Amino acid sequence: MPQLQRTEPTTAPGTSPAAHETPRATATLAVTSAATAVALMTYTAPAVTLPATVAALHTPLSAQAWLLNGTPLGLAALLLVAGTLADDYGRRRIFVAGTVALGITTVLGAFATSTWLFTLARIAQGAASAALLASSLGLIVHAFPTPRGRLHATGVWGAFVSGGIAVGPLVAGALPGWRLAYGVLGAAALIVAALSTRVLTESRAPRGGRPDLAGALVFSLALVSLVAALTLGRDGWLRTPVALLLAATVILIAAFALIEHRTRTPMIDLSLLRRPRFLGSAAGGLFTGLAVIGLFTFLPTLLQRTLGLSPIATAWLFLLWSGLSFVVALQVKRLPGHFAPRHQLALGFALHAVAVLTLLGAVGSGSWTRVLPGLVIGGVGSGLLNAALPLVAVESVPAERAAMGSGAQQTFRYIGSCAGVALTIALATSGGPGSLAHGANVAAVVSAGLALVGAVAVLVLRERA
């Protein structure tokens, strides 16, 4: 069926791109952005509560990566299938279900009594967040059909990603105890879920067929195998268990590709891998996870251990990074129109590389002021990335598959996050507690290198006339 061509309404100078959108569209943007912020707050809460959680659950060093990686693991495993379900069975339905599930699983995490119970709760939070995040951009694309309105809406949504990252550690650090923090975040998710049932309208792009559950299962196993290999790598990368897990990852990914090729309704349309724009979107998400999220998720814990900072002091310090990211993401819409999103991604990656290189020696310096320049530069870079990524995601696929495009990019983002967090912890702690400063420097150099690779990738992978 041919797609209807939409004409963009003219906008008077000085008028907001969203000025011609309906109140319903504005409400959709507000609710989806709020839910996204809560999901990211839940995601980032362990950044400052990890030491207290580890002490309460008696978690050994070898298992700490799982406490941080539970949510990104659930996200990466289910984002693709969540995006497909949202397109096929209703974006509002999947969004509401995901937001309710996020509230319930976050509250359950507050009552966990062991490392594995907490990790399972975090994985469930990630799965719920996958439904929420994958469907939210589909709802936004449906509510904002014009290019200018969509640019404004995805920019706001990206800013709330940064806002959630900024506020999550503050909430977790300010409350008396990590269990209460998860209880409050769970309640916030349930409140947003109640609001969403009143303001969202349903939309879908059905293809028919059944969900690709086999693909989701094999893909999840591949991720678990990869994260386990990277987690065990801290004790030696050439050991047999690490090699076997990496081999299993490769085999499972090959099996996943075979399943996707044969199924009628795949999680991801493999033909998209022939489109440079889609590959560029995937690369942007992957290297954001590997380079940016991987390092900055564990850096607060490193600073608490080496500088003796309290959770709330660490949260305020990192607000400089995440808060700047939020502000920059909101203001990106003021950039000249010829500044393409892929150039914005490349600049964001380059700034992150500069930022983490300025952090060399900061962990062992004994002074928190030493990390300030890196947090400022990194915040600007992160804001550019968070503003560009959602727009690149929805532009990389046909409009009727927006939720799948969003899910695909965010899947790569959280695959990168899982791998990046595990790799950062492995590098930073490989020499034991006494050499955290040296390990942090190694992790920073690796993060900078990965960011530069990401910058090159998003510039090279573009559609050619």
DSSP per-residue string spanning 58-92? T--GGGHHHHHHHHHHHHHHHHHHHHHHHHHH-HH
Distance CA 314, CA 214 (A): 42
Structure tokens at 377: 């530069």
Distance CA 195, CA 397 (A): 30
| Three-state secondary structure of 207-224 | CCCCCCHHHHHHHHHHHH
158, 220, 252 from 249: Cα distances, Å = 31, 10, 5
CA angle 360, 364, 366 (to 5 degrees): 120
Distance CA 439, CA 300 (A): 14
pTM of the model: 0.73
**To which residue do tokens 């490989």 refer?**
430
Regions of the chain where pLDDT drops below 50:
1-20, 465
**To which residue do tokens 């290189």 refer?**
357
Nearest to 221 by CA among 85, 77, 411: 77
pLDDT of 188 reads 94
pLDDT of 402 reads 63
Radius of gyration of the chain (CA): 21
pLDDT of 161 reads 80
**To which residue do tokens 């974006």 refer?**
91
Task: Find all residues with CB under 8 Å of 339, minimum gap 6, and list them.
Answer: none
Alpha-carbon dihedral angle through residues 154, 160, 165, 170, given to the nearest 10 degrees: 170
Q: Tell me: the pLDDT tens digits for 89-98? A: 888 999 999 9
Q: What is 258-307 written as a DSSP string?
A: HHHHH-SS-SS-GGGGG-HHHHHHHHHHHHIIIIIIHHHHHHHHHHHHHH
pLDDT of 12 reads 39
Distance CA 381, CA 346 (A): 9
Q: Answer yes or no: are the C-beta atoms of 130 and 98 closer than 8 Å.
A: yes
| 52-57: Cβ within 8 A, 24+ apart | 52/177, 52/178, 52/311, 53/118, 53/178, 56/178, 57/112, 57/113, 57/114, 57/115, 57/118
Q: Answer yes or no: are the C-beta atoms of 382 and 352 closer than 8 Å.
A: yes
pLDDT of 117 reads 92
CA angle 76, 232, 252 (to 5 degrees): 45
Nearest to 261 by CA among 212, 307, 195, 223: 212
Distance CA 348, CA 344 (A): 6
Distance CA 157, CA 394 (A): 13
